[in-house]
Amino acid sequence: MSERALLLLEYADDELILGWRDSEWTGIAPSLEEDVAFSSIAQNEIGHARALYELAARDLGTTADDLAFDRDPAEYRCAQLVELRKLDWAHTIARHWLYETADELRLAALKDSDDEEVAGLAAKMDREEVYHRLHARMWADRLRDEPRFQEAVVGLWPYAAGVLPEELRESFMDIVPGPGPGTGPVERGVHSDELRPLWEEMTMVRRSIAGATW
Amino acid sequence: MVTAEQVWHALAEIPDPEIPVISLVDLGVVKDVHVDGVSVRVEFTPTFLGCPALEVMRDAMAEKVRALGAEPHVDVVLDDSWSTDRITPQGREKLRASGFAPPSPRQAQPLQLVELQRGFRCPYCGSTDTTLENLFGPTPCRSVRYCNACRQPFEQFKTI
């Protein structure tokens, strides 16, 4: 697989799986406004995943749906941060804020890419992500002094650092300092136990009748 | 043989599937039209990438071109060329008339929450005594606001 296809897949998998996790708040968020917000953010992330899969699919001679749903869980390239099932508000906001902070750095780098297609899509995604960042920061500011939120940020930091490639981690640490020596990033390539149950639910309908069109 | 002008004209008759008061041409999503004999290529730039209406828009454009007796090719362009600044002045007016506050113009610097919290004009009564209720709304392109003067919630097209 080309370096470009791999990069697109990593990013698409992050956005797809995070979109799934965000959508788990639909109907059960602490307020109606957050039901709407997390559902809408989930929809955006899955839309970004679709666009990224489409570029990757062209390189790999397949389709976006095949990439999203027909791979084995072990073949997904997402970071563990997005896999974790965190139905707890402090952890959800901590992940949201950490992911958006890391993602802003990733998008800024891709917008400068020599690959015009990737740079163009990154710029388009970035416009939408501005709203996710505003939302994440608004909540992070509100919860900043809460011990539960602070603990969640510390606990999730190694997962968040693992979203980024090596060369962007220093910039990330300038914004969110790591918990200290001995805690390194959780690298891609190994999945948590929580990915498979998500994958089973996500692909259940598609697997029920192989090759069906909807 | 069909002309580009005829194609533009036909595409201008397609309503947005989610906000039918505005046409796809007013929305600014038709980037370009190329006619080559009976083959018509439409360059289509999605608004929001997560918009569930994208397929409906693409199919509607192909259908219109086919009705002109031409062979449609609708290319989805995933670049950065669409922004809310591409909504035409007529399109903005149609949004306002149907209860959607049109998007504010894009700024060079990144959008701040405080700018969104200030009083945008209510499309119903014209008051600027309005508050931001939610950055997000029923579709990816909308925020939810509330007018303190006429006590009417309304939606605003997000600026992107």
Indicate the residue of B113, B133, B158 with minimum beta-carbon distance to A138: B113
CATH for A30: 1.20.1260.10
Task: Give the pLDDT of residue A45.
Answer: 98
What does the alpha-carbon distance between residue B145 and residue B129 come to, in Å, rounded to a whole number? 11
Average pLDDT of span A82-87: 92
Average pLDDT of span A60-69: 96
Q: pTM higher than 0.90 for the full model?
A: yes
> Mean pLDDT across chain A, nearest whole number?
96
Do the chains contact at B78 and A120, CB–CB below 8 Å? yes
Domain that holds residue A176: 3-181+193-208
Q: Which residue of A has its CA nearest to B111?
A: A130
B140 CA: distance to closest CA in chain A (Å): 6
Q: Does B117 touch chain A (CB under 8 A)?
A: no
Q: Does B141 touch chain A (CB under 8 A)?
A: no
Q: Which residue of B has its CA nearest to A138?
A: B113
What residue ranges of chain B have pLDDT lower than 70? none
Average pLDDT of span A125-143: 96
Task: Give the pLDDT of residue B25.
Answer: 96
Task: Give the pLDDT of residue B111.
Answer: 85
Task: Give the pLDDT of residue A127.
Answer: 93
What type of residue sits at position A183? T
Task: Give the pLDDT of residue B8.
Answer: 97
Domain layout of chain B by residue ranges: 4-76, 101-157
Is A17 within the bounds of a domain? yes
Instruction: Give the residue from A58, A134, A135, A139 with the most B CB atoms within 10 Å of its CB, the best one to mutate.
Output: A134
pLDDT bucket at A120, cuts 50 / 70 / 90? very high
- The full length of chain A comes to 214
A112 CA: distance to closest CA in chain B (Å): 13
pLDDT bucket at A213, cuts 50 / 70 / 90? confident
Task: Give the pLDDT of residue B115.
Answer: 83
Is A213 within the bounds of a domain? no
Q: Does A40 touch chain B (CB under 8 A)?
A: yes
In this predicted structure, the answer to whether residue A214 has a pLDDT above a threshold of 80 is no
A101 CA: distance to closest CA in chain B (Å): 15
**Rounded alpha-carbon distances, angstroms, from residue A1 to A5, A8, A57, A149, B155:** 6, 11, 11, 39, 44
| CATH T-level assignment (fold) for domain B4-76 | GMP Synthetase; Chain A, domain 3 (3.30.300)
For chain B, the distance separating the N- and C-terminal CA atoms, rounded to the nearest angstrom, is 38
Count Cβ atoms below 10 Å from residue B51 Cβ, excluding itself: 21
In this predicted structure, the answer to whether residue A64 has a pLDDT above a threshold of 90 is yes
In this predicted structure, the answer to whether residue A30 has a pLDDT above a threshold of 90 is yes
pLDDT digits (tens, 9 = 90+) for B7-21: 999 999 999 998 999
Is A106 within the bounds of a domain? yes
Eight-class DSSP state of A126: H
B145 CA: distance to closest CA in chain A (Å): 12
Share of chain A above pLDDT 90, in %: 93
Per the structure, how many domains does chain A have?
Answer: 1
Is A204 within the bounds of a domain? yes
Task: Give the pLDDT of residue A210.
Answer: 84
Task: Give the pLDDT of residue B116.
Answer: 87
Task: Give the pLDDT of residue A86.
Answer: 83
Average pLDDT of span A34-43: 97
Is A119 within the bounds of a domain? yes
What does the alpha-carbon distance between residue B65 and residue B8 come to, in Å, rounded to a whole number? 10
Indicate the residue of B51, B111, B134 with minimum beta-carbon distance to A33: B134
Pairing of strands B130-134, B100-101: unpaired
Task: Give the pLDDT of residue B123.
Answer: 96
What does the alpha-carbon distance between residue A192 and residue B21 come to, in Å, rounded to a whole number? 47
Is A214 within the bounds of a domain? no
Give the 3-state secondary structure percentages of chain B, helix then strand then coil, rounded to 5: 25, 25, 50
> Mean pLDDT across chain B, nearest whole number?
93
